Amino acid sequence: MSRLTLGHRLKIRSMVHMAAEPIPFFWPMRTFIHHNPLHGLEHLPFEQGVRQGEQLFHGRGFLPRTDYQRYHAEGKVDDATLGDDIRRFLAERDAIGELDLQGLLQTLLCRTPETVGVRLDLADADDIKCAIDGGTSCAEETADIDALHERLARQFPPERPLYESIDLLFGTEIGTTLDELVIKSCLDFFDEGQSTLQMPGREHGFFTAWSALAKRNLRLFLRGLHIKKILAQDASAEGVIAYVLGELGIEEAHWDGLITRELTRLHGWAGFIRWRSSAKRYHWSQTYPGDLIDFLAIRLVLGLALIREHARRKRLPATFPELSHYLEQHTAECYLRQAYHGGTVQPEWAHRVDDALAHKHPGRINRLLPEYLQAERIAETRRQADRLLSLAEAAGQTEALKALDADQTDALLTLLDEFEDGEGMMWLRAMEAVYRKSVLNEIKLLPPAKREKRPFAQALFCIDVRSERIRRQLEHVGDYQTFGIAGFFGVPVSFIGLGKGTELDLCPVQITPKNVVLEVPTGATQIETDFYSSASHVLHDVKSSVLSPYFTVEAIGLLFGFDMIGKTVAPRVYDRWRNRIEPKDASTRLLIDKLSREQGDSIVRSLQRVTIVRAIGQELGIDRDAITDSMIRELREIAMGNKEGTSEFARQFALSPAAEADFIETLRDEYRINPSFVSMQMERLGKIGFSTDEQVYFVGQALRMMGMKETFSRFVILAGHASESDNNPYESALDCGACGGGHGLVSARVLAQMANKSEVRRRLAEQGIHIPDDTWFVPAQHNTTSDEIVLHDLDLLPTSHLVYMERLRNGLRAASRLCAAERLPTLEEGVDPNLDTTTAYRHIQRNTSDWTQVRPEWGLARNAAVVVGGRHLTEDMNLDGRSFLLSYDYKLDTKGRLLDTILSGPLIIGEWINLEHYFSAVDNEGFGSGSKAYHNVAGRFGVMTGNLSDIRTGLPSQTVLKDGRPYHEPLRLLVIVEAPVPHVLAAAGRVPKALSLIVNGWINVVVADPESGHLHFFDRGEWHDLGPAPQRAKQLESIDAEESPA
Amino acid sequence: MNTLLLLLAGFFLPLFPLSMAFNWLLGRFNNPVVRVLLILVWPQIGVLLVLAAGVPLTGSVFLWWGLITAAFYAWRLLTVRELGQWAAMLATSAFALTWVMAADGARAIDLHAFVLGFAVAPALLVVITTLLERRLGAAYSGLVTGMARDIPRLAGLITVVLLAAMALPISPGFFVMLDLLLESHPAPVIVALLTWLLWSWAGTRLLRDTVFGPRSGKNVADLPVPLAWAFAGVIVAAVVLNLIWTGV
């Protein structure tokens, strides 16, 4: 029982929930969801959100200056924008002496590698002025020792976890030990089948299961951690939280701040637990519930036990008041301690400080401190003066700097400090300006040219940036028209694959699918359960049991050796050979039509009969051949409460009335033959498939969104996409983000199946969408690793289309090879520029099966823009695989509803993908997941660095960095929408999330107004008319020139 | 056997607390040349004194005194963070093991080679200490981490020398240690092995707190390439000479 009142418990729960708000969700890696790591801060303006994110997650929100300077040297930074931003910064500030501040700051940004405006701790402006003037006895004044206590008190606020303070002062490693213990507990509880031995009692919840185990944990006890005593204080997680915080002496006013810091210390785990507790349909969450309150309670219990153990053994403060008292009583010692253990001690003094602290003699420490402070002050003064002088010299303003008095020097230092605080944003804006101009200069804001005949084939690709290349190549090789649509083709589907028991949501994570699609075998191919499959299962079982690995290494280790050699030496050949002996995928269809009530009822009855037969066998030991269908039917009716009295079955097998009643009760309770379970089954069956209305709606919406109303080709290829690689926990990150990190093929098959139905077409025709009879929608999968496009469900293809298949395949193959040849130089060094496409394609294909390849493809790296509009805008441009292309025709969307859908779905997916790449590139250790080479899979849902770490969120260095430098140029997403300005503004107004992203600057928006021909850019809270689109202006000029008399 | 000479040798093949003289001298001089010379020459004087006193030693007092000194200084290595001091303590610990060889009656040439083999790593560490002090102000573990990425050549040198300090193959220390273990009795061997283990432990910690770990982002110059080659030459020469001596 908890000693807390319900109100108090709820208060703690809400406190934890509020504290966790900024922590982004972490989805299991099986369905990797790209997301903005600062998603919880998107309500703030970008710069402010980044600043807060840096503090919360200890990451860096912008690149180091040297990286920006490299971009600057490469011409990727717009000097004019940089200059404007400096001017804007200076406009609000006073001049300082004779300094040319504009020039000084420009020099600071472009030619000074180090920061100059560091906040001073000990030195003051007089000291620095003296040093600038070449003085030799500057900073001789001893620093005010009394002020140190105040500084220390600020450094160790109650919101800071106590163990962190103790670690910093005494060099203990309580925080690290605590993190390890918490991670181990999380691995035990949240495991999704990776471990052979499971944590007992998981079904009771995280905290309950953990505390039951921790009370009996001998290892913790032997380490001196008296967990049991703490857990005895309260049975509930909330109660334990309140108890521990009380014991630590933290006042309630500071709890929320402390909780945020506790949760963000392992923000990967916290993000996973936060997502998991909110995913009500997630199997593991339903079976083994756990939330952040449990997580926090466990963390605090272990933390308190560790603090007490250290306090006992080393006589350290064990509560916050004790720490405050210690700081007050031993200010000199604490100052030296934090400098020494925090790594900020003057290197030359490290040994003396270490010695003094080790001897713990107050007199010695007190004697040392003034000397140390003075040395530190002198060093700080010298360092600061040198930096100022170097900067002034580089800017040619040394004399002007020397002419400043102390107050002006102080003002300069403050100005530099403020400027450097905001310089990341200036660099970013200046880089974005270059990219924006390069795209807008080329964009063709002109009406699309009229086609004389329908294209040979039309292909619908995902909006993914990787589709841009293949679309461009396909259009180049033949008479193909391509479109871009979110990879789930606008149909949210919950998919149950063949032989799978769980549903997989194939749609953006913001959407919860209402319809289930079931994959069923056609029977055309036998489902293989041959020797190979059985052997694979046996090997897997042998590998994962407790004892068997000891002897299996000797017994069958050689088999794995062959596998290893094959995969390493000749991955392509070996893969082909394995594919030959592995069972083939069964031929299947998707159940996309709604079941009628009668059909559902019949299915349920049939299942119940099978269950009753099994129950009779298991409970009474009676074989099926001894009973008849009518007996089963009667038993079912009785169990369902539709009939009463003795059954024929009871009479036949001489069951007493009591035995019969018992059996019926068992059927109801254990075998769930009861009305409530039936209604639940009926409800679930009701979710299977789509009604005809729904099918018409989804097909119509998809076609209208892309502007496909007429002129349909013979083939309309719906190309979902997926990646293929080996030994890659991040494979799902390379799959389709619009399909919730899954493959896009299922969605393509669903839409194709719908669009090929004559009833759907008939109803679409009534809505003005005329799909000719000879048009066939063909589902396909674009393998983004190899660029291969494979057509599916070809057995359904009308005979009339077969003669065109060779041409279609040739075209697709040629596009794939050209695309591979284009991508190869980005993946391999020293590629021969004249390499033929066949060889390039072979090189690229190797990445699908090479298990040593840490970068099978670049994925979505370098993404920078999304173009919402017709293909004519970009058809002549090489967008270098950096743009999401979303087909949209505003003329078919008079009410703006389709644009609403785009803004609330694909746009947000694009923004998440973009910012995930952005932050992983600017700080791969903080916001990314570091190098893949050190990753280990954790619990089958995430990866850790090494064998024990926080769950690594974000993208690995191999995805965003090349040779240690950003390959992905970190820019905010440039969104270009082709539509009249009022149309876009109205839609944005209807989608608050999109509006917030635009207004707060998480994306850059340009409206390309086809009616006025002008481009409009939203910047700093207002729209700027950029004038006519350059390509349009050029065309108008040429028309004018043609029309004007010679 | 002259006990007085042996006690005098206890200053040069350091026996605790006589070892404090050697450590004080190493701490006293800042000049790396003097320090290196001290490490190379000091124990050789001890060997000469021991030989003058007569080997093999009778009784086991000096043998165990040397072993306990070696283990004690190896244990101290775990807490020392200043690289110069670390090198001095490693040298003290290693030189003290000479008493084991002396007790077993090793030849004069072997005793000289023994201390020389053990002197290579501490001497190189002294040079590295100077290189770090010039760049970072101090050679202190834990203050500047992640050197592997910031100053890769110097970090590589630190790694190789620390591996030699741990007496790992194929460093001279490894063969010297092997010689000691093969020639000695089981009881001293156990203490010598414990000492070896402590060297490895301490060396690994030092590596962790300098070469590895998060980058500190210090903008310092790496080891110049010619100097890196020179160090590589010295290390290779030491290994080759040692292989010749051991007859491998």
pLDDT digits 0-9 by tens, A282-297: 889 999 999 999 999 9
Q: Which domain holds residue B38?
A: 3-246
Helix (H) / strand (E) containing B152: helix B152-165
B219/A348 CB distance under 8 A: no
Tokens of A558: 């050689």
Q: Is the pLDDT of residue A412 over 80?
A: yes
- CB-nearest partner of B138 from A114, A347, A925: A347
Residue A312's CB is within 10 A of a number of other CB atoms, namely 12
A345/B136 CB distance under 8 A: no
Instruction: Give the residue on A whose Cα is nearest the Cα of B27.
Output: A351
Q: Compute the distance between CA of residue A816 and CA of residue A786 in angstroms, rounded to an integer.
A: 8
Residue A557's CB is within 10 A of a number of other CB atoms, namely 11
Q: Compute the distance between CA of residue A117 and CA of residue A103 in angstroms, rounded to an integer.
A: 16
Cα B151–chain centre separation: 24
Q: Compute the distance between CA of residue A559 and CA of residue A532 in angstroms, rounded to an integer.
A: 13
Contacts of A440 (CB under 8 A, 6+ apart): A976, A1006, A1015, A1026, A1029, A1030
pLDDT in tens, B197-241: 999 999 999 999 999 888 877 778 899 999 999 999 999 999 898
B143/A114 CB distance under 8 A: no
Residue A187's CB is within 10 A of a number of other CB atoms, namely 20
Instruction: Give the residue on A whose Cα is nearest the Cα of B132.
Output: A347
Which of the residue ranges A491-505, A554-568, A964-978 would you say has the lowest mean pLDDT? A554-568
- CB-nearest partner of B138 from A113, A114, A348: A348
pLDDT in tens, A628-655: 999 999 999 999 988 888 888 988 888 8
A350/B138 CB distance under 8 A: yes
Q: Compute the distance between CA of residue A104 and CA of residue A390 in angstroms, rounded to an integer.
A: 11
Q: Compute the distance between CA of residue A204 and CA of residue A191 in angstroms, rounded to an integer.
A: 15
- What pLDDT, on a 0 to 100 scale, did the predictor assign at position B96? 95
Tokens of B211: 């070469």
Shortest alpha-carbon distance between residue B144 and chain A (Å): 8
Residues of B in contact with A386 (CB under 8 A): none
Q: For an interface test with B, which of A173, A341, A351 has the most B Cβ atoms less than 10 Å from its Cβ?
A: A351
Q: Go through A370-394 and write b for each residue having 16 or more CB atoms within 10 A of its CB, e for each that does not.
A: eebbbbbbbbbbbbbbebbbbbbee
Number of residues that this document lists for chain B: 248
A114/B219 CB distance under 8 A: yes
Contact status of A346 with chain B (Cβ, < 8 Å): yes
Residues of B in contact with A354 (CB under 8 A): 81-82
Contacts of A230 (CB under 8 A, 6+ apart): A240, A243, A244, A301, A304, A305
Q: Compute the distance between CA of residue A385 and CA of residue A127 in angstroms, rounded to an integer.
A: 9
Shortest alpha-carbon distance between residue B139 and chain A (Å): 8
Residues of B in contact with A964 (CB under 8 A): 149
Contacts of A477 (CB under 8 A, 6+ apart): A811, A814, A815, A818
Q: Compute the distance between CA of residue A868 and CA of residue A887 in angstroms, rounded to an integer.
A: 6
Instruction: Return the closest-CA partner of residue A714 out of A772, A755, A782.
Output: A772
To 5 degrees, how large is the angle CA A161–CA A165–CA A168?
A: 140
A350/B82 CB distance under 8 A: yes
Strand-pairing partners, residue A944, are A936
Instruction: Return the closest-CA partner of residue A972 out of A219, A428, A394, A213.
Output: A428
Instruction: Return the closest-CA partner of residue A245 out of A262, A229, A232, A228.
Output: A262
Q: Which residue has the tokens 């405006």?
A: A117
Instruction: Give the residue on A whose Cα is nearest the Cα of B215.
Output: A925
Residues of A in contact with B136 (CB under 8 A): 347
Residues of A in contact with B82 (CB under 8 A): 350-351, 354
Shortest alpha-carbon distance between residue A964 and chain B (Å): 10
Contact status of A350 with chain B (Cβ, < 8 Å): yes
Contact status of A113 with chain B (Cβ, < 8 Å): yes
Instruction: Give the residue on B whose Cα is nearest the Cα of A379.
Output: B137
Which of the residue ranges A243-257, A515-529, A560-574 would you say has the lowest mean pLDDT? A515-529
To 5 degrees, how large is the angle CA A535–CA A536–CA A537?
A: 90
Q: Is the pLDDT of residue A573 over 90?
A: no
How many A-B residue pairs are in contact by the CB < 8 A criterion? 28
Per DSSP bridges, beta strands A961-962 and A965-966 are antiparallel
Q: Compute the distance between CA of residue B225 and CA of residue B227 in angstroms, rounded to an integer.
A: 5
pLDDT in tens, A791-835: 999 999 999 999 999 999 999 999 999 999 999 999 998 888 889
- What pLDDT, on a 0 to 100 scale, did the predictor assign at position A956? 95
- What pLDDT, on a 0 to 100 scale, did the predictor assign at position A225? 86
Q: Is the pLDDT of residue A1042 over 80?
A: no
Shortest alpha-carbon distance between residue B140 and chain A (Å): 7
Q: Compute the distance between CA of residue A790 and CA of residue A61 in angstroms, rounded to an integer.
A: 41
- What pLDDT, on a 0 to 100 scale, did the predictor assign at position A139? 63
Q: What stretches of A893-1007 show up as alpha helix (H) in DSSP? A: 897-904, 906-922, 957-960, 981-990, 992-999
- CB-nearest partner of B136 from A114, A347, A351: A347
The CA distances from residue A324 to A158, A253, A754, in Å, are: 9, 17, 70
Helix (H) / strand (E) containing A352: helix A350-359
- CB-nearest partner of B81 from A113, A348, A354: A354
Q: Compute the distance between CA of residue A150 and CA of residue A327 in angstroms, rounded to an integer.
A: 10
Question: Residue A129 in contact with residue A402, Cβ under 8 Å?
Answer: no
- What pLDDT, on a 0 to 100 scale, did the predictor assign at position A716? 97
Q: Compute the distance between CA of residue A783 and CA of residue A719 in angstroms, rounded to an integer.
A: 10
Question: Residue A974 in contact with residue A866, Cβ under 8 Å?
Answer: yes
The CA distances from residue A943 to A265, A540, A797, A932, A937, in Å, are: 17, 21, 43, 9, 4
Q: How many domains does chain B have?
A: 1
B81/A114 CB distance under 8 A: no
- CB-nearest partner of A350 from B143, B216, B219: B143
Q: Compute the distance between CA of residue A973 and CA of residue A465 in angstroms, rounded to an integer.
A: 12
Question: Residue A263 in contact with residue A950, Cβ under 8 Å?
Answer: no
pLDDT in tens, chain B (248 residues): 588 888 999 999 999 999 999 999 998 888 999 999 999 999 999 999 999 988 777 777 899 999 999 999 999 999 999 999 999 999 999 999 999 988 887 788 889 999 999 999 999 999 999 999 999 989 998 888 889 988 999 999 999 999 999 999 889 999 999 989 988 889 999 999 999 999 999 999 999 999 988 887 777 889 999 999 999 999 999 989 888 877 65
Residues of B in contact with A351 (CB under 8 A): 82, 85, 138, 140
State the ipTM, two decimals.
0.83
Q: Is the pLDDT of residue A737 over 80?
A: yes
A347/B142 CB distance under 8 A: no
Contact status of A345 with chain B (Cβ, < 8 Å): yes
- CB-nearest partner of A351 from B140, B144, B219: B140
- What pLDDT, on a 0 to 100 scale, did the predictor assign at position A194? 86
- CB-nearest partner of A350 from B140, B149, B216: B140
- CB-nearest partner of A343 from B82, B85, B143: B143
Sign of CA dihedral A144, A147, A149, A155: negative
Q: Is the bond into A549 cis (omega within 30 degrees of 0)?
A: no
User: What one-letter code names the amino acid at A583?
Assistant: P
Average pLDDT of span A211-219: 91
Q: Which residue has the tokens 């009969």?
A: A609
Residues of B in contact with A347 (CB under 8 A): 136-138, 140, 143-144
Q: Is the pLDDT of residue A552 over 80?
A: no
Helix (H, G, I), strand (E, B) or coil at B175: helix
Per DSSP bridges, beta strands A1003-1008 and A973-978 are parallel
- What pLDDT, on a 0 to 100 scale, did the predictor assign at position A996? 96
Average pLDDT of span A903-916: 93
Contact status of A643 with chain B (Cβ, < 8 Å): no
Q: pLDDT tier at A447 (50, 70, 90 boundaries)?
A: confident
Tokens of A181: 């213990």
Residues of B in contact with A346 (CB under 8 A): 137
The CA distances from residue B1 to A535, A782, B7, B15, B47, in Å, are: 74, 87, 11, 18, 14
Q: pLDDT tier at A427 (50, 70, 90 boundaries)?
A: very high
- What pLDDT, on a 0 to 100 scale, did the predictor assign at position A140? 65
A925/B214 CB distance under 8 A: yes
B136/A354 CB distance under 8 A: no
Q: Is the pLDDT of residue A198 over 80?
A: yes
Residues of A in contact with B214 (CB under 8 A): 925
To 5 degrees, how large is the angle CA A314–CA A319–CA A320?
A: 125
Give the DSSP letter string of A86-135: HHHHHHTS---TT--HHHHHHHHHHH--S---PPPSS--HHHHHHHHTT-
Contacts of A894 (CB under 8 A, 6+ apart): none
Tokens of A213: 């185990």
pLDDT in tens, A371-390: 999 888 888 899 999 999 99
- Tell me the residue ranges of DSSP E strands in A40-99: none
Please give the share of chain A, as a percent, with pLDDT higher than 70. 96
pTM comes to 0.88
